[in-house]
Amino acid sequence: MAWDFATDEDFQPKLDWMREFLDAEILPLEAIAGDCTPEQWRVLTDPLKERVKQQGLWACHLGPDLGGQGWGQVRLALMHEILGRCEFAPMIFGNNAPDSGNAELLAIGASAELRRRWLEPLLAGEMRSAFSMTEPDVAGSDPRLIRTRATLDGDEYVVSGHKWFTTNGSVADFLIVMVVTNPDVHPYQGCSMILVPTDTPGVQIVRDVPNMGEPHIEGPPRPGGHAEIVYDNVRVPATNIIGEPGDGFVLAQKRLGPGRIHHAMRWIGQARRAFDMMCERALSRSAHGSLLADKQMIQDMIAETKMEIEATKLLCMHAAWHMDRHGASASRTQIAMIKVYGTRMLYNAIDRAIQVHGALGYSADLPLEGMYRHARASRLVDGADEVHKVTISRHVLRNYEAVEGWPGEHLPTRRAEALERFADALDTITANS
């Protein structure tokens, strides 16, 4: 019987190394990241990437054939919980979104030539990529509405359409674009993914869309921006298609499943950081004659947050285990559950940490206000919460059937059935008494 909550003994030292490395080498960079030029940033972070590679911890989500570890989701989940404490850590460990998911896509579906040209430099950290699916004119929640078209013309596809919120699109070397290749069939069979080099004529990076995370986008494009892009008759070789024509939705499912678990585990890391700050402050600040930590309403916040973090972790580890055992598509309910529950937990944790810090929490002198603004995106990225709840509820309801007449638990009906079933026994008892 295996129902084990312990981390493998051989794996714990790796997690310990990651945690120490993150605290000692990566977290201090946060305080100066905004002041660095891209060149200065490379000088600071390249040696850190080398140290990660020396430890064999680079791009662990990939199989050994691609230079990774081929770890299952359970190990990756534990790793992402640690990396989630600092937004730069995934990049230094070679598994930052969207590059990690895009690398997996190319590994699954790209031709040998595409892999050589684009995947290898991506894995080496020499290139950046973006995933371009959402469009401003139609609901991203319903990707069947996608309008961007790719029409075959000789041995080229001609891509035309309008996308936005393509994360890293303005700094990417290539874009993986979700397009309609066959409008005459259901979108689930008519959509495809095509690799478009960003410098192809017709790719127009309109802007990085100002947003809650970065309201004032100034200067040259930087990683982390969410680009609006017009594809104006962009010609790419037909061989730039990933998988077969019509594979778009199948590939999207494969890409998004693991990504959502990793997001959720990073949220746990973020939430733990906010929680650590909340506890430190509660023990350090006094009001009305006692420490904040001694006040029951503050204790309530600490207890609620701790319970929500641990509940999310259990849900997340179960989803990871389920994926390792049954694959991504059989784990859609589990993945949807941690996506929704994780966002709520994250938001609550940061919100309460701000509350306990009072005006200091609201100020930009602490990272909490930035964490709070970025956390809001979690309810939208990789699908709005409501859409995931639809998935959960649809899957759950498959296990139930409608009944005619009264509900199955209707007490008068159950009593009448029980009286009939046990009539003989009741008669005997009555006769003997």
CA distance 149 to 151: 6
For 328, list phi and psi in degrees, rounded to 5. Answer: -65, -45
- Which of the stretches 181-189, 201-209, 288-296, 376-384 binds ligand FAD when contact is defined by CB under 6 A? 376-384
Interface pick for ligand FAD out of 247, 273, 383, 392 (rule CB under 6 A): 383
Residue 134 within binding range of ligand FAD, rule CB under 6 A: yes
CB 63 within 8 A of CB 28: no
For 234, list phi and psi in degrees, rounded to 5. Answer: -85, 125
CA distance 376 to 347: 7
Residue 388 within binding range of ligand FAD, rule CB under 6 A: no
- Helices (H), ranges, 148-295: 187-190, 248-284
**Termini Cα distance of the chain:** 48
CB 156 within 8 A of CB 237: yes
What is the number of other CB atoms lying within 10 angstroms of the CB of residue 96? 21
Q: How far is the CB of 332 from ligand FAD (least distance, A)?
A: 15
- Which of the stretches 19-27, 52-60, 382-390, 420-428 binds ligand FAD when contact is defined by CB under 6 A? 382-390
Give the H/E segment covering residue 32. Answer: helix 27-33
Tokens of residue 139, six digits? 């609901």
Residue 206 within binding range of ligand FAD, rule CB under 6 A: no
Interface pick for ligand FAD out of 26, 133, 150, 392 (rule CB under 6 A): 133
Residue 167 within binding range of ligand FAD, rule CB under 6 A: yes
Query: Which residues ranging from 103 to 132 are in contact with ligand FAD (CB under 6 A)?
Result: 131-132
Interface pick for ligand FAD out of 166, 170, 198, 348 (rule CB under 6 A): 166
Closer residue to ligand FAD, CB minimum distance, 211 or 355: 211
3-class secondary-structure state, position 226: strand
Closer residue to ligand FAD, CB minimum distance, 152 or 396: 396
DSSP bridge pairs for 397:
none
- The contacts of residue 58 (CB under 8 Å, 6+ apart) are 49, 52, 67, 68, 93, 94
Nearest to 72 by CA among 335, 251, 320: 320
Query: Which residues ranging from 220 to 279 are in contact with ligand FAD (CB under 6 A)?
Result: 226
Tokens of residue 211, six digits? 């947003």
Q: How far is the CB of 361 from ligand FAD (least distance, A)?
A: 23
- Which of the stretches 159-167, 292-300, 320-328, 341-349 binds ligand FAD when contact is defined by CB under 6 A? 159-167
Report the residue number whose CB is nearest to ligand FAD. Answer: 140
Compute the C-alpha angle 334/337/341, nearest 5°.
145
Closer residue to ligand FAD, CB minimum distance, 127 or 302: 127
For 139, list phi and psi in degrees, rounded to 5. Answer: -70, 120
Number of chain positions touching ligand FAD (CB under 6 A): 20
Instruction: Map tokens 């990933």 to a residue.
Output: 242
Residue 380 within binding range of ligand FAD, rule CB under 6 A: yes
Residue 390 within binding range of ligand FAD, rule CB under 6 A: yes
Closer residue to ligand FAD, CB minimum distance, 260 or 313: 260
Interface pick for ligand FAD out of 139, 303, 330, 397 (rule CB under 6 A): 139
Residue 372 within binding range of ligand FAD, rule CB under 6 A: no
Residue 209 within binding range of ligand FAD, rule CB under 6 A: no
- Which of the stretches 84-92, 108-116, 136-144, 197-205 binds ligand FAD when contact is defined by CB under 6 A? 136-144
3-class secondary-structure state, position 403: coil
Residue 98 within binding range of ligand FAD, rule CB under 6 A: yes
The secondary structure of the chain in percent helix, strand, coil, rounded to multiples of 5, reads 55, 15, 30
Closer residue to ligand FAD, CB minimum distance, 117 or 260: 260
Interface pick for ligand FAD out of 29, 44, 238, 384 (rule CB under 6 A): 384
Interface pick for ligand FAD out of 66, 370, 387, 395 (rule CB under 6 A): 387
Interface pick for ligand FAD out of 21, 93, 118, 165 (rule CB under 6 A): 165
**Strand runs labelled E in 83-123:** none
Nearest to 227 by CA among 272, 175, 262: 175
Q: How far is the CB of 33 from ligand FAD (least distance, A)?
A: 18
Binding-site ranges for ligand FAD (CB under 6 A)? 98, 131-134, 139-141, 165-167, 226, 377, 380-381, 383-384, 386-387, 390
